[in-house]
Amino acid sequence: MTDERLQKQIRFIQEVDKLKNIFRQSRIHDGSRRENDAEHSWHLALMALLLGEYSKDSGIDMLKVVKMCIIHDLVEIYAGDTFCYDAKANEDKLEREKAAAEKIFGLLPQDQGEELKALWEEFDAMETPEAKYAASMDRLQPVLLNYMNKGGTWQEHNVKKDQVIRRNQHIKDGAPKLWEFVSELLDDAVEKGYLKE
């Protein structure tokens, strides 16, 4: 029989496969279906690696950023995905996600569970250079998807440009050059009719 540590690690690995069944509001590039949280997390990790040169802080720990990108939405297995523009659903989001963090990270051996929970908390606080950059990727990715699929979620939920700006302006805290890019992209999205002024 395998030892207890390995059993816990395998149980966690099996449990987090459920992330593939958590669907976000964002639609994939062609608008044909909603993306799931696992796809979203993979996309963020790849973006973080590719766009690292645009981080506000050139000395960030990229492995830490990638870890944050991979684990930041694991809590949604139990808490569900909360649409960022739904004010009512966001009222108790933090409580739901904290309880979910205890549960999901509690499946791991204590040292690993504490490490991942601390990374999740750091990402959520958006105070360290790594968390600011990882959060920038988390904000940039849905903007890119909405632009590629001609306004998908923005149009579906009647989201306006000022809402998108308020939600995503944190990008400038982690990657100012990417915020300039997003600002131009949003102007173009309005011009093309993907996003309402």
Residue 70 covered by a domain: yes
The dihedral through the CA atoms of 119, 123, 129, 133 has a sign that is positive
Q: Is residue 174 part of a domain?
A: yes
How confident is the model over 151-196, as pLDDT tens digits? 999 999 999 999 999 999 999 999 999 999 999 999 999 999 999 9
Domain range for 86 is 4-192
Instruction: Report, as an integer, the average pLDDT of 96-118.
Output: 97
The average pLDDT across 20-41 equals: 94
Residue 39 is assigned to a structural domain of this protein: yes
For residue 28, the domain's CATH number is 1.10.3210.10
Give the count of domains, the chain.
1
Residue 68: inside a domain:
yes
Residue 107 counted as domain residue: yes
The per-residue pLDDT for range 58-106, each reduced to its tens digit, is 999 999 999 999 999 999 999 988 787 877 777 888 899 999 999 999 9
Other Cβ atoms less than 10 A from the Cβ of 67: the count is: 20
Residues with Cβ within 8 Å of 47's Cβ and at least 6 positions away in sequence, in order, are 69, 137, 140, 141
Q: What is the pTM of this model?
A: 0.94
Residue 197 belongs to a domain: no
Q: What is the mean pLDDT of the chain?
A: 95
Q: Which amino acid is at 9?
A: Q
In a domain? residue 145 = yes
